[in-house]
Amino acid sequence: MITGELDLCEVNLINAAMVRQAQGQMLDEATATRLADLFQALADPTRVRILSALWVGELCVCDLAATLGMSQSAISHQLRTLRQLGLVRRRKDGQVVYYSLDDEHVSGLFSQGLEHVRHQTDMP
């Protein structure tokens, strides 16, 4: 058992070689944060429902609000989040703003996540 060489914590090491290997493999802080931010965008039921509603095609804000049964303001705030992460696209037509799915990766993430969720039989 080897004493930790990190000054950040006083934890002991079980397998120093594995730790070094893991440190090399592990995502750096910045990349981990950006990846976490992406998943964070999908980590809310309202945003998930918005994205699944946009599957049928572009929808304007008020139709999205009606579809979800939520206020225009709440939907608009969430669309801002989705837009900032590049998951939805805007198209303005007069005073109506249409939103649609922007990223092809989203569909992959979405279906893969759904597959995971639907294969879970023991979830509460």
Partner DNA sequence: TGAATATATGAGCATGCATTCATATACTAG
Partner DNA sequence: CTAGTATATGAATGCATGCTCATATATTCA
Positions touching DNA (CB under 7 A) are 1, 12, 14, 40, 43-46, 60-62, 70-74, 76-81, 90, 92, 94-98
88 binds, among a second copy, DNA, none (CB under 5 to 8 A by kind): none
- Residue 29 exposed, middle or buried by CB count within 10 Å (0-12, 13-18, 19+): exposed
Q: Which is nearer to DNA, 19 or 103 (CB)?
A: 19
4 binds, among DNA, a second copy, none (CB under 5 to 8 A by kind): a second copy
Q: How far is the CB of 91 from DNA (least distance, A)?
A: 10
What span, in angstroms and rounded, lies between the C-alpha atoms of 56 and 54? 5
- Residue 69, classed as helix, strand or coil, is coil
95 binds, among a second copy, DNA, none (CB under 5 to 8 A by kind): DNA
Q: Are 68 and 53 in contact (CB under 8 A)?
A: yes
* Count of H-run helices and E-run strands, the chain: 6, 3
Q: Are 97 and 90 in contact (CB under 8 A)?
A: yes
Q: Which is nearer to a second copy, 54 or 88 (CB)?
A: 54
Q: Are 26 and 18 in contact (CB under 8 A)?
A: no
56 binds, among a second copy, DNA, none (CB under 5 to 8 A by kind): a second copy
Q: How far is the CB of 55 from DNA (least distance, A)?
A: 18
